[in-house]
């Protein structure tokens, strides 16, 4: 057997009354990272993540987040069903391992949409025509695949059939692109966002705080920022608090969006 058992099983109940559901976590008795590329190929809807490396997929209609030695799965409505699921995961992984010689692999990593990149595609006017209160809220929802680009009448026209959207600078020059899967171009409502009149705004951020803010905008965690800038996690946290205070924001997404609005990054 590739996997013989598991330890550290726990149940977590979330929600109230009839909306309550159960999530589970447990540890496997060996590293299963070698199976991630096989799962990525076998289950088309899976998402192979990097930093940290793990894979998400649906098994028996349960969302599983599989790390090299840990599993998180949900939702369950029955505790007994939840307690039986580790055996189902182990059965699935052992079967996959036994068939490795006949299976193909897919090593491509899932690249989630960046809220900051999506925001660059939007007019920044908070017109609410998309149904959201702000462009930031729309960008955050789109990054989680909870809405589609066609909801915004000012979204630019994709430059390929794979929904590759262009990002322009203030002079109308193409600077980068954002790829959004799962939707075809909407030529009737799309317009080119070349009319961007936002001017740079001076801030009192220090050069180091700007470096931290640039990494925050890419979605980097405090630990990742610490490693890249060779500073302690405590120092990173301190910089982020100062950044929030100076920009007048409350979270990382707002800080990233404000950085674009003020032309800091």
Q: How far apart are the first and last CA of the chain?
A: 52
Per-residue confidence (pLDDT) for residue 200, from 0 to 100: 47
SS3 content of the chain, % helix, strand, coil (to 5): 35, 20, 45
For residue 179, what are the β-bridge partners?
Answer: 164
Spatial contact of 85 and 62, defined as CB atoms under 8 Å apart: yes
Per-residue confidence (pLDDT) for residue 207, from 0 to 100: 83
> What's the pTM value of the predicted model, to 2 decimals?
0.50
Contacts (Cβ under 8 Å, ≥6 apart) of 193 = 121, 122, 123, 154, 156, 168
3-state secondary structure of 182: coil
Q: What is the pLDDT tens value at each position of the chain, 265 positions in all?
A: 999 999 999 988 754 444 457 888 999 999 999 999 999 999 988 888 887 888 989 999 888 989 999 998 888 888 999 999 999 999 999 999 999 999 999 998 877 667 777 888 888 888 888 888 788 778 877 776 667 788 888 876 665 444 555 555 566 555 555 555 544 434 333 333 334 444 444 568 888 888 888 888 777 788 888 877 888 889 999 999 999 888 888 888 788 777 777 777 6
**How far from chain centre, in Å, is Cα 117?**
12
Residues 49, 241: Cα–Cα separation, whole Å? 28
Residues 236, 233: Cα–Cα separation, whole Å? 5
Domains of the chain: 6-102 (3.30.310), 115-179 (1.10.15.40), 207-261 (1.10.10.10)
**With 0-12 CB in 10 A as exposed, 13-18 as middle and 19+ as buried, what is 218?**
middle
Per-residue confidence (pLDDT) for residue 9, from 0 to 100: 95
Question: Phi and psi at residue 235, in whole multiples of 5°?
Answer: -65, -40
């Amino acid at each position: 057997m590739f996997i013989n058992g598991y330890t550290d099983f726990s149940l977590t109940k979330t929600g109230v009354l009839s909306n309550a559901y159960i999530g589970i976590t447990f540890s496997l008795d060996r590293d299963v990272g070698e199976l991630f590329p096989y799962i990525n190929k076998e289950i088309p809807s899976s998402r192979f993540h990097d930093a940290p490396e793990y894979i998400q997929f649906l098994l028996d209609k349960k969302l599983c987040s599989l790390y090299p030695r840990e599993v998180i799965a949900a939702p369950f409505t029955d505790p007994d069903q939840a307690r039986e699921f580790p055996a189902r995961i182990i059965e699935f992984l052992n079967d996959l391992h036994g068939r490795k010689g006949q299976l193909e692999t897919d090593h491509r990593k899932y690249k989630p949409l960046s809220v900051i990149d999506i925001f660059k595609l939007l007019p920044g006017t908070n017109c609410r025509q998309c149904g959201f209160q702000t462009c930031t809220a729309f960008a955050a929802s789109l990054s989680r695949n909870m809405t589609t680009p066609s909801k915004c009448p000012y979204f630019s026209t994709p430059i390929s059939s794979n929904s590759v959207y262009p990002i322009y600078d203030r002079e109308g020059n193409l600077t980068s692109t954002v790829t959004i899967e799962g939707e075809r171009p909407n030529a009737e409502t799309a317009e080119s966002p070349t009319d961007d009149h936002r001017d740079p705004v001076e801030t009192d951020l220090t050069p180091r705080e700007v470096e931290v803010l640039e990494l925050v905008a890419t979605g980097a965690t405090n630990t990742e920022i610490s490693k890249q800038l060779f500073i302690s996690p405590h120092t990173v946290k301190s910089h982020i608090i100062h950044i929030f205070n100076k920009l007048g924001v409350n979270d990382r997404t707002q800080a990233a969006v404000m950085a674009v609005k003020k032309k800091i990054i």
